[in-house]
Each structure stands twice: as C-alpha cells, then as structure tokens.
Structure 1
Amino acid sequence: MGALDFLSSITAQWPFSSSVESTTEPSGCPVDHSSFAKSSSGCPVDHSKFEVTNIFPPHVVTETSTQDDIKFRAAASRQVPGIGEPVDPSIIDSVDLSGRLKEKLLVASPYTDEDHLLDLDTLARPHQLFAKALTIMNAKTGEYAVESYHEAFNWDEVLQAVQKLSKKENYQFPRSEFYIIVFRSRLPFDADRTHLGKLDKDAHLEAVESGQLLKYWFGTPHPETGRNLATCVWRHRDDAKKGGAGPGHVRAMEAVRNIYLEWRVERLKLTVEDDASAWSIGKWVD
C-alpha cells in the first residue's frame, strides 16, 4: 500500500477528521427550525451575535489553572460567570470592566495559547451559548476512556449551564444538533508522549483556524492500561471535515498507525432540545 493509499485509509480515524471527501461549506443550518415561525430575514432562528459576551478575559483561567485543571476540573468555566467555580476576587478586581464586557476569546480546550482560543464572534448565537456552556464539561469517572460516551461526561450540568446562560440573555435556546468525534486509544508505556502532544497541538490549531470547533477535551493515558479518550464537539459535520484537512492532521494520522497499539473512532450526534430541556446522544448517520 502506498503512502497516499495509507493516508486515505485512515483519514477518518483522527479526532478532528471525519471524511476523505473534499471539504464543502455546511449544507444547512444545524439548528432545528421546526418549532419556530419564519422571520422576515428568512431564517426562523436568531443567529445574531451577542452585543456583549459577558465572559472574563482568558487570563482568569490561564494564570490560575494548569492543563490538568482544565481537563479534569472544568477550570475553563471560571471564564464564564455564573456556571462554574467562583473566581478569585483579586483577579476580578484587576480586570478592566469595559474590556471584560467585550471579551470574545474563550478557553475551549486544554491549550491556552491565544491562537488556540475560540473566537465567539465567529459563531451564531446558539452556538456561542453552547460553547460557553461546554467550558463546564468534565469526565464523571476516572474510567471515562472505557465508559459509554453518554455516561462518561456531565451532560446534565452542561445543559443546566445552557439554561442559566439563556435565561441571563433572555434567549430561547432552539433545538440544535452537534457533531461529536470520539477517539479511543491505547498507548504503549514507552511512547514519546511529548512528540504526540506536539502533533495533537498542531492539529488542534488547524481545527481552530477552520472555525466552529466548540470544544476539545482529552484525558491522560491510564497509568495501568494506557487507555485514553479524546473528543471534540463541532457545530456541524462539514466543519469537522474542513478542520481535518491540513498537514498537521496528516502527521497525526501517521502517528496513529506507527505509535498507538489500539485506536477506535465513534461519530455521534448530540441533540439538545428546545430550551435545553433534554439531551440525547446517538450515532451520526449522514
């Protein structure tokens, strides 16, 4: 099998990549319009951006948290008032309030360099809200790498955060669907994790630059089994296809074949009902 054949055979297996097909613009809005009346603009859902995002600057998270804090203790939620842990008052006092109210860069992964942050101005209103709520996403058990996906994370708390944020903004959250990729893996104990971390960070940057990656979460290989889980939440499948098209992903895919002992991908659809009243997760079927 030649190199191009090999890459084509595994493109679909990296967390940020879902297809070897050519990338296209999203074919439609991922928000369910069925329960909304048509507006004069032709779209029944308010996709407008917030006039203010009402989040603290990223340094509230980056200067007080480690990568493990973000991964396992939902520390990124400190950036969003009202849904996470209280923020140290001394940090709040040091913030320029006028700047805070116009803040738009959100910590949406364990990578906190500015070019890895999510620009909320690139998102429509329901996706802004959901991205902010996802800062509270966290594993419910230390066995997240082998748990069923819907049991592994605190989705009830994420929806409670959506409800709180929607109420604060006087916004009716519409029924919405999100595309999820789950990457389950097992590493040998002597694997070069520094090298893998560099590959992953490069791939994440490409995904952020493509837009619409709402959340990236990854754990730490289990000390006894080497098993791990990484997952990303996209606005739509087409966004994931676009985000997985760069050279960083090619290098990461090569690592999958050459380093991982086992790897498996799941493609799921997260459905959030009107007003974030309920959620469900099932297989993504095109």
Structure 2
Amino acid sequence: MTLTFDHPPHPFHEQKKHSTTVESRDPHRLPTFDSTSLTAPTEPVLYLPPLLSSLPDRFPSVDVSSEYPPLVTETRLPDIDPASLSLHKALHRFRPLNEDYAAKPYAEAFNWSELALPLEDEREWYCVVFRSKRKAGSDGGSLYEADRKAHEEAVSNGGLILYWYGIPNQETGLNLATCIWQSRKHAVAANTRPHHIRAMKLAAESYEIYDLERYVLRKAPSNYGVTIEPFVGGDVGW
C-alpha cells in the first residue's frame, strides 16, 4: 500500500478522487483504504492515518493512546534498533497540520514538534518526500496492486518505519507522500527489488508532475523533540 523509496512516487496514495455525489459518514469510523475506495469513493475520506511497519515478532504490540490511531502492515520488519523503536512509538501520533499540507514545506506540513522521544536517544533517519499530480484518466488498479506489493517487499527487507500516502488536494490535485527509513542504505537497497522495479515502470506514465525531496530527521540527546533538515549527502542512519 505504499510508496517507500528513493525514487518518484507510486500510485496508491494518489488514487483518491471524489465522486460527484458523496454520502455523509461518521468521522470517528475508520474507512476502508483499498484500490476501489480510493479510486471511486462513495463518501469523503475524513481520516487519514499513517501506515507504520509492524514490529518484529519479538516485540510486543505498541499500545499508544492516540486521537489518530495508525494503520499497520501485515508484514513485519526483520529488525529495529532501540532509538528507531522509540520513533516508531512516537509516530503513532503522526499527522498533517492542516488540509493544505501538500503545498507546505516538509518541516511545516506535519506535527513534528509534537513528537517526543526519550531524552537520551541520539539518532538520525532518512526521509523521502514525493510531491506529485496524477494524469487525468490514468488507470489506478494495476498501479495500486504493484505499489502494495512493493511496500510489503520493502518492509520485509527491512528499514522502512513509516509511510504516509496522502490524499490529493481536491482543488489542485497535488499530493505529498513521504516515508521514513532507518537509514538511507535501506532506501537505496529497496530500489533494486523486483516489485519496486515493476511499480516504477507502471508509475512512470501515470504522473503529470512529480518532485522528489530528501530530508534528515534528527534526534539530539539534549532534547526530547526532533528536527527536520535537508539531506545534503552522505550516509544517514545505520
């Protein structure tokens, strides 16, 4: 269900388009996210959770009280380091600050200032951001399926902590999707996987525009919070 890599975007997060008639819905009910509901919804999607990679079997389920509970993958990460586990828990509360997040700078689009990690943690993570606009009339079914497989492939091979797939702005059609990796090496390695390669081939003809941005998410030992900084080269994370 995701776009996760150091490359242009996959389709899953781009499929949401309003039908001409939408039904009212309970905003507290979690909607179904699949190729049908996002391609031809019968009601507006008012809730958009982050998609977190499930933890390795040896870790208990994370029970974090949140107004915005996340979705989780069926596939589990093979491993995760202690600081990344702290980040994983904090990201249960990850959300955009407003509906115009796709037009905002990355550091201003989400609630980074609300995320808190243990004071002693010191770590950096690699973030990939995709700003895009789908071509009118492009087919989403096969792209969705390829994207879903690419995401599960990335989780099983390790390193992917979170994927936010976004919903295109209903007026501009612009979307912002992002993923957070334990390291840049994990993201680069995912580029060579077969499902990712197939998804990229299908996605190449489906976008009118897209831009790729890279950032470093950093946690210093003297602060509970995190910062977002532009990626300028070199290794990130481990």
Instruction: Please say whether Structure 1 and Structure 2 have the same fold, judged by a TM-score greater than 0.5.
Output: yes
SS in 2 for 1:224: coil
Deviation, structure 1 residue 228: 1.0
Map of 1:13 onto structure 2: 7
Letter in 1 for 2:224: S
* SS in structure 2 at match of 1:174: coil
Bigger mean CA offset, 247-256 vs 265-274: 247-256
Q: Is the 8 A contact 2:126 2:215 kept in 1?
A: yes
The CA deviation string for residues 120-165 of structure 1, in whole angstroms up to 9 with x for no partner, is x711111111112112111111112121001100111222xx3xxx
Q: What is the 5 A alignment of 1:18-29?
A: none
Q: Does 1:122 align with 2:79?
A: yes
Q: 1:191 to 1:75 in 2, by over 3 A?
A: closer
**1:194 deviation in Å?**
2.6
What is the deviation of 1:208?
0.4
1:134 alignment partner AA: L
Whichever structure has more helix as a proportion of its residues is 1
The count of corresponding residues between Structure 1 and Structure 2 is 192
Give the equivalent residue in structure 2 for 1:179.
Answer: 126
- Are the structure 2 counterparts of residues 268 and 216 from structure 1 closer, same or farther at C-alpha, using a change threshold of 3 Å? same
Tell whether the 8 Å contact from 1:188 to 1:226 is kept in structure 2 after alignment: no
Aligned partner of 2:221 in structure 1 is 274
Considering fraction of residues, name the structure with more strand. 2
**2:48 counterpart (52, 72, 90):** 72
Aligned to 1:133: 90
Instruction: Name the structure 2 match of 1:265.
Output: 212
Name the counterpart of 2:165: 218
- Cα RMSD (Å) of the superposition? 2.9
1:30-69 to 2 correspondences below 5 Å: 65-67=30-32
**Residue 22 (structure 2) aligns with:** none
Q: Is 1:153 the counterpart of 2:93 in the alignment?
A: no
Counterpart position of 1:228: 175
Aligned match of 1:84: 66
1:93-104 aligned at under 5 Å gives the runs: none
Deviation at 1:183, TM superposition (A): 0.9
- The match for 1:208 is 155
SS of the residue 2:103 aligns to: coil
After TM superposition, the score normalised by the length of structure 1 is: 0.59
Amino acid at match of 1:178: W
Structure 2 CA distance, aligned partners of 1:206 and 1:86?
A: 26
Separation in structure 1 between the aligned mates of residue 90 and residue 46 of structure 2, nearest angstrom: 14
Deviation string for 1:190-210 (max 9, x for gaps)?
A: 222233222221111111011
